[in-house]
Structure 1
């Protein structure tokens, strides 16, 4: 039996949210490897540690869809932003401390 971060049982077809990024998806598969429970989420087709996701109840899902928005983070947009930051050139002459 896999349990989420709040010790709630995770079942196939449960909707869960990965607590670190807010990614929400439906559980496609559950497995245990070396004593660690994992869940595969349909949104990303990736495996997540079960203790790092939260099972969403119907009111959480209803709120998400009623708002008309997508509360999830856009991972590709974050990667693109990180790449831009990596490619920035730092210049020590931009600012100086007073003193």
Structure 2
């Protein structure tokens, strides 16, 4: 039985959060090596120690656009780039108060 940081059993296909970085993903695989339990997350395709993740409830899961393709407006990006062309960078800019 693979358990999370709170000693709650982690089922396959459940959503978990890696406590150090906040990475959220679905558990796609599990393994035990040298008495250490590991879970593999779909978002990163990486293995995480099960004791460093926490099982999420439905209410904890927020909609995320990570990894999803979004439509990009090239003309909007070009317009924003033009805003930076008029920037004047001076080596004599004010310094911090130190």
CA distance in 1 between partners of 2:35 and 2:14 (Å):
21
Does residue 41 (structure 1) correspond to residue 38 (structure 2)? The answer is: no
The correspondence of residues 1-99 of structure 1 with structure 2, limited to 5 A, is 1-61=1-61, 64-65=62-63
Structure 1 residues not aligned, in runs of 5+: 72-93
Question: What's the TM-score, normalizing by structure 2?
Answer: 0.64
SS of 1:3's equivalent?
A: coil
Secondary structure of the residue aligned to 2:59 is helix
In 2, Cα distance between the equivalents of 1:11 and 1:59? 17
Shift of residue 60 of structure 1?
0.5
Q: Give secondary structure in 2 for the equivalent of 1:17.
A: strand
CA separation in 2, counterparts of 1:14 and 1:33?
21
**Per-residue deviation at 1:58?**
0.6
From the superposition, tell whether residues 70 and 7 of structure 1 become closer, same or farther in structure 2 (CA, over 3 Å): farther
Residue 40 of structure 1: CA displacement?
Answer: 0.2
- Runs of 4+ aligned residues of structure 1 deviating over 3 Å after TM superposition are none
Normalized per residue, which structure has more strand?
1
Counterpart-to-counterpart distance in 2, 1:32 and 1:60: 27
Q: How many residues align?
A: 70
Q: Which has the larger radius of gyration?
A: 2
